[in-house]
């Protein structure tokens, strides 16, 4: 979650999916303490927000107003955090030049010379300054993010219609970067002395971050998310009930042999790792095969970062989303 930097309280809302998360709190810059006064989950219809895009703005506004009223929250200053496949995020090393020059460099690096006519907003932060070993010139370490202007305008309109005061629009990768900046995770893993693999599973994307002693050395976004997991689980259910579309790509990819004795398995929601599934050879191989592409991509990212940045072995992996 993103928080403001003043002493006043703010509402932070994660609107990446149809399970909106809301937190009321603040950040004390002097003490470095983040206070959380209230928090909650705002469930919506499954397609209300898909891949970070609002399909039913009226429904979101009504749900948000109702949640604020039920929680007796009178505060108006709000920060939204979003995540979707429309985001473009890159970590860059650029010459330490003046602001306007740096801005042009960042925009070129993240958008390139693409032919996409969609109007994009590009924002960036400078999170470190280093000396280039070869040129001996100062360089900025920059994290840049581009978001379509129409998407940003939709979120701004959402806050105004909900009678909230827009403070900032943040993106989940940046919020996560701040969250994992220092300290310990789950009270046991020291961020400053370990190389960690962070896997954020969103609706249609999976973000992989390699964090070396609190520093995000590499971030990759895969076009695979929990909606795919749900799709596999639902298809497995249909296969068990003999109602699956035998011509669909997913059914064929699951490679379930027709006529093979498959016992009925109650696979609730996305629980494709149910014990009975593990014991059923065809279903076990189907699930394993489908997720192999994800695990292979994660493994390649980890090995690439270890080799390129001369890192220690990755000690721990954290999955969240």
Q: What pLDDT does 115 receive?
A: 53
Q: What pLDDT does 6 receive?
A: 46
CATH architecture designation of domain 10-85+150-187: 2-Layer Sandwich (3.30)
User: What's the pTM value of the predicted model, to 2 decimals?
Assistant: 0.69
DSSP H stretches of helix in the chain: 57-70, 99-111, 149-161, 172-179, 226-240, 249-254, 275-279, 281-308
Handedness of CA 152, 158, 161, 163 (dihedral sign): negative
Q: What pLDDT does 288 receive?
A: 67
Q: What pLDDT does 33 receive?
A: 81
Strands (E), 102-223: 120-131, 138-148, 165-171, 184-185, 189-190, 195-201, 206-212, 215-222
Helix axes 57-70, 149-161, angle to 10 degrees: 40
Instruction: Assess if CATH 3.90.1300.10 describes domain 188-321.
Output: no
State the Cα–Cα distance between residues 196 and 209, nearest whole angstrom: 8
For 18, 64, 126, 162, 165, the CA distances from 60, given in Å and listed in that order, are: 9, 6, 34, 9, 16
Task: Let me know: does 52 contact 83? Beta carbons within 8 Å.
Answer: yes
pLDDT tens for the chain, 321 residues: list them: 344 444 578 999 998 887 889 999 988 888 878 889 999 889 888 788 888 889 999 999 999 999 999 999 999 999 999 988 888 888 889 999 999 999 999 999 988 755 566 799 999 999 889 898 888 899 998 989 999 999 999 999 999 999 999 999 998 877 877 778 778 888 888 888 889 999 887 777 788 888 888 877 887 877 777 666 667 666 666 666 666 566 665 555 554 444 444 444 343 433 455 555 566 555 565 566 667 777 888 888 888 888 888 888 888 899 887
Q: What pLDDT does 38 receive?
A: 93
State the Cα–Cα distance between residues 117 and 271, nearest whole angstrom: 41
Task: Let me know: does 116 contact 51? Beta carbons within 8 Å.
Answer: no
């Amino acid at each position: 979650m993103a928080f403001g930097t003043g002493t006043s309280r703010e509402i932070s809302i994660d609107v990446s999916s149809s399970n909106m998360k809301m937190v009321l709190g603040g950040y004390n810059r002097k003490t470095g303490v983040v206070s959380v006064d209230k928090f909650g989950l705002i469930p919506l219809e499954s397609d209300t927000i898909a891949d970070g895009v609002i399909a039913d703005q009226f429904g979101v506004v009504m749900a948000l107003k109702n949640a604020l009223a039920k929680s007796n929250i009178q505060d108006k200053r709000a920060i939204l955090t979003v995540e979707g496949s429309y985001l473009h995020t890159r970590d860059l090393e650029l010459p330490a030049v003046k602001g306007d020059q740096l801005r042009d460099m960042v925009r070129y690096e993240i958008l390139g010379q693409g032919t996409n006519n969609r109007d994009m907003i590009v924002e960036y932060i400078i999170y470190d300054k280093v000396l280039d070993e070869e040129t001996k010139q100062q360089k900025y370490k920059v994290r840049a993010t581009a978001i379509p202007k129409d998407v940003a305008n939709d979120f701004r309109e959402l806050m105004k219609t909900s009678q909230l005061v827009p403070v900032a629009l943040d993106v989940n990768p940046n919020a996560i970067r701040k969250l994992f900046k220092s300290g310990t995770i789950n009270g046991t893993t020291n961020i400053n002395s370990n190389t960690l693999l962070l896997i954020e599973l969103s609706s249609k994307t999976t973000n992989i971050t390699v964090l070396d002693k609190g520093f995000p050395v590499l971030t990759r976004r895969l076009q695979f998310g929990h909606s795919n997991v749900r799709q596999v689980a639902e298809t497995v259910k249909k296969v068990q009930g003999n109602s699956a579309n035998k011509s669909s790509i997913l059914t064929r990819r699951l490679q379930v042999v027709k006529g093979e004795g498959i016992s009925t398995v109650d696979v609730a929601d996305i629980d494709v790792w149910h014990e009975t599934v593990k014991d059923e050879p065809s279903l076990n191989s189907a699930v394993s095969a489908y997720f192999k592409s994800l695990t292979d991509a994660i493994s390649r990212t980890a090995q690439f970062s270890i080799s390129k940045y001369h890192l220690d072995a990755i000690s721990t992996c954290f999955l969240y989303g």
